[in-house]
Structure 1
Amino acid sequence: MRKIFLLNALLLLCVCSLSAQQTTNERSEWLQMLDKIARPVFYNLANDELKEKMPVEISPVSDNPKGRIADQYLEALGRTLSGIAPWLQSDGGSAEETKLRAQYRTWAIKAIANATDSTKKDYMVWDKGGQPVVDASYLALGLIRCPWLWEHLDDAVKNNVVHCLTLTRKIIPVYSNWILFSGMIEAFFCKYGYDYEPLRIEYGVREFMQHWYVGDGMFSDGMNFHLDYYNSYVIQPFLKEIIDIVNAKTGRYKWEQQRLAAINNRYSQIQERSINSDGSFPAFGRSIVYRCGAFHHLANMALHEQLPKNLSAGQVREALNAVMKKTLTAQGTFDKNGWLVIGLDGNQPGQADVYNTQGSLYLCTEIFLPLGLSPGAPFWSEPAKDWSEKAIWNEEDYSGDHALDLR
């Protein structure tokens, strides 16, 4: 009997060891992919060479080639920073991870300094056309997600950042998810103690929470509902961040925060069930070239450790891992110098919308948000588990899906 007990204990120990090794390897793979995508952006911008080194690839149906090219650099900075910011904020990990994080922190400080200094070659466009308010908001989101970075900018750079973000106030946002871009910039000012314009925040929160919720965990993008991934690209992550920041400061949005939590919860379930057994997902709606950025919301809920009770951290990790591999490892995803090219599964310029550039593509980094969690967090330490679609289509008995009815 004792031998059987010892044998079972040994087998359990081996299984646990293999599981821990698997999750360690997955985190390492995520870090390698983060580095592969972010390095060209941050290395070159830190050296004031982004405009010189970043190739120009715009949509073949671009509505404004010259203007779009001018905007692609802020797109690349803002979107990449917002995706890797929680990891920059975190501590711990292997010696290799710690060293890599230190390098990116150094690059990020220099990159932001160059992007906001009008004497530098890589000074970016902040107030021409409409697009700058979009990507300035992602920069603001990145700085919100990484207080360490904001705290380590010197006063001159902080002043430049505030000035550049303030310039975007002259841009009138489109009556859609764009009103959240203006709101995010004001939320940044609110978080860090600067004068902010509450009306720009109120406008976005009120329109979405009172007028644009259409049911079952989804908002319309403006007056009309569109079946795309904008609830994930922008709407739900931005609403959550804005409401959490302002509510912590003023307590104004307690009802909205509670209601949004239920909506976020349901949309997380929808997102998880959208991931096919091979990591693919329905390619519907605009901006599909943002690749795995389509799961910004699910990754964000994992980062905040606020996943629905019926979704384990281990299954969400495996689902996001499958999406990352499916969308970022196909042949032709990167050019010969390591820059992303337009497409969802490899090089597919025909998938682009009129506003897409090479910089737009870096929204894919939002999938890396859970790297802000420590290696010991459940997301990284729980055993692997099949996600919903993989389990269901593998003949596993599985719980049904149910709509959310908010009253």
Structure 2
Amino acid sequence: MKRRNFLTAMSIAGLTGIIKPETVLAEEKKNKKAIKPINDRTYWYQLLYKIANPVVSNLAAGTLVKNMPLVTSPTFDSRSPKVSYLEAVGRTYAGIAPWLALPDDDTDEGKLRKKMRVEAVKGLDNCFANGSPDQLTFNRDAQPIVDAAYLAHAFLRAPKALWEPLKVETKQSIIASFKSLRNRKPFKSNWLLFGSITEAFLLTVGEDIDKERLNEGIVKLNEWYKGDGWYGDGPNLAFDYYNSFVIHPMMVDTLAVLVKHQMIEPAKYELALKRMQRYAVGQERMISPEGTFPPIGRSITYRTSAFQVLSQVALMNKLPKGINPAQVRCALTLVKKNMYDVKGTFDDKGWLQLGFCGHQPEIADYYTSTGSLYMATLSFLPLGLPATDPFWSAPFAEWTAKKAWSAKSFPKDYHVDY
């Protein structure tokens, strides 16, 4: 029997040897499904959908509290972990807002975007309804000051997509919830801008505002400005990503509202924008040739939201001279692949897990829980640009560090005095 099997094998081997290689390759191609590479935009919107969908779809179904795993840092403090649900909502919506603001179309992306937008609006109607199992809580702890601000930022970024379609009673509930936070003072840090942008949103919908709360963040952060695009997070400089997580985006967007309402001179907005652009220069240069970036400072479990400034400046079509949109797209695409394609980033139900690159719960700060992680969506803001925009349509371009470490010409860098 062994001899017969051996001879059979030898016969097959002999036949294979006389088959032309081209024939074998053609047969392999026929039997294998061709994997079509996806372009950068497709990768981005599919990844954003993967990240945001567990939050948005569960909120629409009234099952966010039921299904979102409530995992906290090993050093989690005494605050109620239930604030995590509000964190997940505010942060997710702030990141998906520009994408949802695009008009409908019949592409695969357009259909997915419309689905998420419809569910996002339904979810807000649900979680602000009395008696809802997902009703959000604003009446205790200081944390709601933070995530009301991110939700307000979402409404500023996509008023027609996320604010105008809401039920009247939902709008009234949101306004009342935001105003209820006035009985709690933000900490003397980047938190002051949470109060500012929330009041700025209330101004846009014709509500009475707390002028002191509106202005305090702007005044104090300008007092704490350290130069060359860096604000202090309080009186001192913190070498972390809070200039991107919070300070520049909320400062610029709050000032934009005040300019529109003729409450400040446009020059104040222009100065803040120039500072944000300068910070964006540093961000682009921090992306290594391999598509990595330094894990510095606290809150690194917020992952790619470290690049909210670079993403927002790209969305605004305000990238500084010397940085073309395609190089930002290509750099950030590689960063996302390095970060989100790593095992352990998502659990088996698709929820983000504590970590920087993969599952690393030990690095989560004392205020971090599952909902906190959805700051990650803030690096996807350029999806608010149409597919025809050069950010998406231009060919591959190398970013600064990739040029520099390839012995190619790249722009020199100098500090600025504003």
TM-score normalised to the size of structure 2?
Answer: 0.89
Query: Which position in structure 2 is the counterpart of 1:46?
Result: 60
Query: Which position in structure 2 is the counterpart of 1:91?
Result: 103
1:131-155 superposed Cα distances (whole Å, 9 cap, x missing partner): 0110011011111111112111121
C-alpha contact 1:42 1:111 (8 A) present in aligned 2:
yes
Identify the match of residue 154 of structure 1 among 167, 171, 174.
167
2:177 is the alignment partner of 1:197: no
CA shift at 1:118, angstroms?
2.6
For structure 2, which runs of at least 5 residues remain unmatched after alignment? 1-35
Measured in 2, the distance between the counterparts of 1:225 and 1:361 equals 24
Identify the match of residue 281 of structure 1 among 267, 289, 293.
293
C-alpha contact 1:91 1:374 (8 A) present in aligned 2:
no
Identify the match of residue 343 of structure 2 among 306, 331, 338.
331
CA RMSD of aligned residues (A): 1.4
1:281-317 superposed Cα distances (whole Å, 9 cap, x missing partner): 1111000000000001110111111110110001011
Identify the match of residue 297 of structure 1 among 298, 304, 309.
309
Query: Which position in structure 1 is the counterpart of 2:17?
Result: none
Identify the match of residue 176 of structure 2 among 146, 153, 163.
163
2:383 is the alignment partner of 1:371: yes
C-alpha contact 1:232 1:295 (8 A) present in aligned 2:
yes
In the alignment, residue 182 of structure 1 is paired with which amino acid? G
2:413 is the alignment partner of 1:401: yes
Query: Which position in structure 1 is the counterpart of 2:126?
Result: 114
C-alpha contact 1:116 1:164 (8 A) present in aligned 2:
no
Measured in 1, the distance between the counterparts of 2:111 and 2:206 equals 32
Identify the match of residue 333 of structure 2 among 321, 337, 359.
321
Identify the match of residue 246 of structure 1 among 253, 258, 277.
258
CA shift at 1:94, angstroms?
5.5
For structure 1, which runs of at least 5 residues remain unmatched after alignment? 1-20
Measured in 1, the distance between the counterparts of 2:250 and 2:394 equals 28
CA shift at 1:92, angstroms?
5.2
Decide whether aligned partners of structure 1 residues 280 and 93 sit closer, same or farther in structure 2, where only a CA change above 3 A counts.
farther
CA shift at 1:239, angstroms?
0.2
Measured in 1, the distance between the counterparts of 2:377 and 2:195 equals 22
Q: Secondary structure of 1:323's match?
A: helix
Bigger shift: 229-238 or 197-206?
197-206
In the alignment, residue 172 of structure 1 is paired with which amino acid? K
CA shift at 1:276, angstroms?
1.0
1:139-172 superposed Cα distances (whole Å, 9 cap, x missing partner): 1111111111211112111111111111222221
Measured in 2, the distance between the counterparts of 1:115 and 1:296 equals 26
1:241-270 superposed Cα distances (whole Å, 9 cap, x missing partner): 000011111241423212112211110100
CA shift at 1:206, angstroms?
1.0
2:320 is the alignment partner of 1:308: yes
Q: Secondary structure of 2:180's match?
A: helix
Q: Secondary structure of 2:82's match?
A: helix
Measured in 1, the distance between the counterparts of 2:212 and 2:395 equals 46
CA shift at 1:224, angstroms?
1.1
C-alpha contact 1:87 1:371 (8 A) present in aligned 2:
yes
Q: Secondary structure of 1:250's match?
A: coil
Query: Which position in structure 2 is the counterpart of 1:60?
Result: 74
Decide whether aligned partners of structure 1 residues 279 and 94 sit closer, same or farther in structure 2, where only a CA change above 3 A counts.
farther
Measured in 2, the distance between the counterparts of 1:223 and 1:214 equals 9
Identify the match of residue 75 of structure 1 among 66, 87, 91.
87
In the alignment, residue 309 of structure 2 is paired with which amino acid? H
Measured in 1, the distance between the counterparts of 2:120 and 2:366 equals 30
Measured in 2, the distance between the counterparts of 1:183 and 1:104 equals 29
Query: Which position in structure 1 is the counterpart of 2:199?
Result: 186
Stretches (4+) displaced over 2 A: none
C-alpha contact 1:290 1:364 (8 A) present in aligned 2:
yes
Q: Which has the larger radius of gyration?
A: 2
In the alignment, residue 304 of structure 2 is paired with which amino acid? C
CA shift at 1:234, angstroms?
0.1
C-alpha contact 2:145 2:194 (8 A) present in aligned 1:
yes
Residue correspondences, number: 382
In the alignment, residue 128 of structure 2 is paired with which amino acid? T
CA shift at 1:68, angstroms?
4.2
